[in-house]
């Protein structure tokens, strides 16, 4: 891997020069968040296959890059997701039931089923809505960051995107604006090697994705995206610099999508199993658990308890979410305007829908 920051060694020890020295509580929170995302992915794919939710985008193999980046941010910072970051929303405090309601699109979904499945939002945690078009979240993130500068707020924005998004015009526009106006943004590229079925080698002729930042006048750093501490360190330093008027940074997390792009994808049609196996051997959860064990913070009994606890938590959330019915028909009318005009009220009454 070319010039990639790595903190956790193969035996679970860390490079003392690079170790961010996470407190025990924070290290365990990071590991729990990664495990929650891994187990949730498996359960949600099963629900989709059973027809209980419509669509799901898993993040198997990318847990370190997602949760490690999110935990590095401060509570008042904003997180702008790509479309496979449930772990980031959950460590921000999003209740599992709220996430499930949005996946289902039921009456307790805050957007009443208006979004596509698996396109959740958590306003209380400054977690912007997911959006399907590739790269469109990048200008949105820069807009939030620019507003922070105008308001003189010492906060930062973390925006997730994939290697495929670096081929879009939105990537150029966002990077250019952020560089010129020194917007407090951390651009976290999850380079998972595949933009659906297009390999990263066909996305760019540059040696790395991180080096693209130099053309826009700010720093880019490449990290081992299977190493949660490396992602955490790079993101935290970039966010601290952004809050201190140091401008944006691009972090390229070199990782791998071990599973399908989404529940509608069959990756066996475009990639070879030996490639997948070589990356699976670098599983980010296994690596971080080895780190915890080396530090004397984890053992098999704790692992078993955590898996049981997370499994029970997800089961309970699914049961609670599935008790809610579909959105009320009146939301077709009441959610359009802050003050409903008379013409719309007449349509609602004409259809026999009772307003709230």
Active-site annotation holder among 114, 270, 316, 345? 270
Predicted structure pTM score: 0.94
- Lowest-confidence region among 19-33, 37-51, 112-126: 112-126
Which one of 261, 287, 289, 291 is the catalytic residue?
Answer: 261
Q: How many residues are present in the chain?
A: 356
pLDDT at position 354 is 66
Q: pLDDT tens digits, residue range 144-153?
A: 999 999 999 9
Q: How confident is the model at residue 355 (pLDDT cuts 50, 70, 90)?
A: low
pLDDT in tens, 316-336: 999 999 999 999 888 888 888
What contacts 204, CB < 8 A, 6 or more positions away? 163, 166, 167, 212
Residue of 155, 257, 287, 289 with catalytic role: 257
Inter-residue contact 194 to 30 (CB < 8 Å): no
Which residue ranges make up each domain of the chain? Answer: 24-325, 329-356
User: Of 323, 333, 337, which is closest to residue 356 (Cα–Cα)?
Assistant: 333
Q: Is 316 a catalytic residue?
A: no
Stretch 191-210: mean pLDDT: 94
pLDDT digit string (tens) for 103-119?
Answer: 999 999 988 888 888 89
Which class is domain 24-325? alpha beta
257 is catalytic: yes
């Amino acid at each position: 891997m070319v010039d990639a920051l790595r903190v956790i060694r193969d035996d679970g020890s860390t490079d003392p020069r690079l170790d961010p020295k996470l407190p025990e509580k924070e290290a365990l929170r990071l590991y729990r968040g990664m495990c929650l995302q891994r187990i949730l992915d498996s359960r949600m794919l099963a629900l989709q296959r059973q027809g209980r939710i419509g669509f799901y985008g898993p993040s198997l193999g990318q847990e370190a890059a997602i949760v490690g980046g999110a935990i590095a941010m401060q509570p008042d910072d904003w997180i702008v997701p790509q479309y496979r970051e449930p772990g980031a929303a959950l460590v921000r405090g999003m209740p599992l039931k709220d996430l499930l309601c949005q996946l289902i699109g039921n009456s307790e979904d805050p957007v009443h089923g208006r979004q596509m499945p698996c396109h959740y939002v958590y306003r209380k945690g400054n977690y912007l809505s997911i959006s399907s078009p590739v790269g469109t979240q990048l200008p949105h993130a820069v807009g939030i960051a620019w507003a922070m500068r105008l308001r003189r707020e010492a906060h930062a924005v973390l925006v997730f995107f994939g290697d495929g998004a670096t081929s879009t015009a939105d990537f150029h526009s966002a990077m250019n604006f952020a560089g010129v106006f020194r917007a407090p943004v951390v651009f976290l590229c999850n380079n998972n090697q595949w933009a659906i079925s297009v390999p990263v080698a066909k996305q760019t002729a540059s040696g790395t994705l991180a080096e693209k930042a130099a053309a826009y006048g700010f720093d880019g750093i490449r990290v081992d995206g299977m190493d949660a501490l490396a992602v955490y360190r790079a993101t935290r330093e970039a966010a601290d610099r952004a809050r201190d008027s140091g401008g944006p940074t691009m972090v390229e997390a070199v990782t791998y999508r071990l599973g399908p792009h989404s529940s509608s994808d069959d990756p066996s049609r475009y990639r070879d199993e030996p490639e997948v196996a070589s990356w699976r051997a670098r599983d980010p959860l296994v690596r971080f658990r080895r780190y915890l064990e080396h530090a004397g913070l984890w053992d098999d009994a704790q692992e078993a308890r955590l898996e049981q606890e997370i499994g029970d938590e997800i089961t309970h959330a699914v049961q609670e979410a599935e008790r809610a019915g579909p959105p009320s028909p009146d939301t077709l009318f009441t959610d359009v305007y802050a003050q409903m005009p008379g013409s719309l009220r007449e349509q609602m009454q004409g259809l026999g829908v009772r307003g709230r």
